[in-house]
Amino acid sequence: MTTAAAPAGRTNPAAAAGPAPFTEALHRFAGALRDEARLRPEDVQPVWRSVLRSQEVLADTAALHTADPSLGRLDLNGPVFVIGFLRTGSTLLHNLLGLHEDLHSPLLWELTSHTDAVRSPHAHDRLRSRAQEYVEDYYRKAPDLPTIHYIDAGRPDECHRLLANTFHSMVLEMRYRVPSYGEWLHRQSLAEPYRWHRSQLQTLMSLHRQDDGTLPVPVLKCPFHTWFLPDLVQAHPDARFIHLHRDPVEVVGSTASLCRTLRGARSDEVDTKEIGDQWFGRITGLSQQLADDRDGLVAGRPVLDMPYERLVGDPQAAMRQICAFVGVPYTAGFAAAVDDHLRDRPARARGRHVYRLEDFGLTADTVTGATADYRKRFGV
């Protein structure tokens, strides 16, 4: 097995970057990267740079809030969170809602550079270009990724990029083989990481503050939130949720395929059976929790359930329903923008995502049987 050693002089990233919060999480993740991830030698340095960058963002966030206490008082207007399992149409929904003038779906470059953007308001084009360079490098490493999950610096993206800065995010166990970190993560409270998520979001949304001090309603999207809903609600007590649902057979297979592609960007040793077991366990376990007490998990906050088939079958009807739920007008201009988006970026324009459960040691009957209560509860 190939292990990933830290670059010379960086055996302790926390020490290299100075004191930082979330020291235990950092060392759990860093140790798993070193001992378990099987990174290619040429990918070790870029991954460790991303670890250090996360620490820098947290330090910069704290400094900005200290210098400008008004950031911590920004009213996020009842942020809307798109939740549900991976591969349920959340990217489509997030992009469409980002077209509404009263809403804002944070863009990838904002999520990666929000502190720099606040400090350097005239450098936004450069920061966006830097983010696009990251995207192009990822595509070179994972050429199948655009077919599965298209990303672009100027398009809405998932706010796992904020939570991952605290080293408390499932995206880390999606991108890398880090089983000891994953098991540790799922035993943790994420109340404090989500507090930092809110602080970073306030920093980002300050870029869109109007002259009267108001903000558009932020629309956040990350399937991984669904595993930690009570902690999210504690940090965002005014949150509202759009919960997407899709047949778990498709969810498990597509999620495992995405994981295989992402891990292949940094490692030549990708175990598909291990990936299948991991995401079968994660998804079926959560499906039972959602079936038993989804409304309790969100502490009674408003939730709109949206089947995948309704979203992709009639996006305009779905947008009309969602606008009513969020409390923004369904205007002719928004409807036209939705039509333009759907016409210009049709599904599968970059190729068809092909996967088989059997490639991951699973069967449809196994997944169906393990998610029966979820399918009954949510009608999928």
pTM for this predicted structure: 0.93
pLDDT digits (tens, 9 = 90+) for 236-288: 999 999 999 999 999 999 999 999 999 999 999 999 999 999 999 999 999 99
CA 53 to chain CA centroid, nearest Å: 18
State what percent of residues in the chain have pLDDT above 70: 93
pLDDT value at residue 351: 66
* Positive or negative: CA dihedral 99, 326, 193, 210: positive
pLDDT value at residue 140: 93
SS3 label, residue 105 = coil
SS3 label, residue 81 = strand
The pLDDT of residue 361 is above 80? yes
Label residues 57-81 b or e (16+ Cβ within 10 Å = b): bbbbbeebbeeeeebeebebbbbbb
pLDDT value at residue 240: 98
Average pLDDT for 365-370: 97
pLDDT value at residue 262: 96
pLDDT value at residue 350: 64
pLDDT value at residue 20: 59
pLDDT digits (tens, 9 = 90+) for 6-55: 443 333 333 333 345 799 999 999 999 999 999 999 999 999 999 999 99
The pLDDT of residue 212 is above 90? no
Nearest residue to 81 via CA among 68, 64, 93: 93
Q: What distance in Å separates the CA atoms of residue 257 and residue 356, rounded to the nearest whole number? A: 8
pLDDT digits (tens, 9 = 90+) for 88-147: 999 999 999 999 999 999 999 999 999 999 999 999 999 999 999 999 999 999 999 988
The pLDDT of residue 5 is above 90? no
pLDDT value at residue 346: 57
Structure tokens at 367: 């997944």
pLDDT value at residue 190: 97
Q: Are 244 and 111 in contact (CB under 8 A)?
A: no
pLDDT digits (tens, 9 = 90+) for 289-319: 999 999 999 999 999 999 999 999 999 999 9
C-alpha distances in Å from residue 240, one per residue of 38, 80, 101, 182: 39, 5, 18, 27
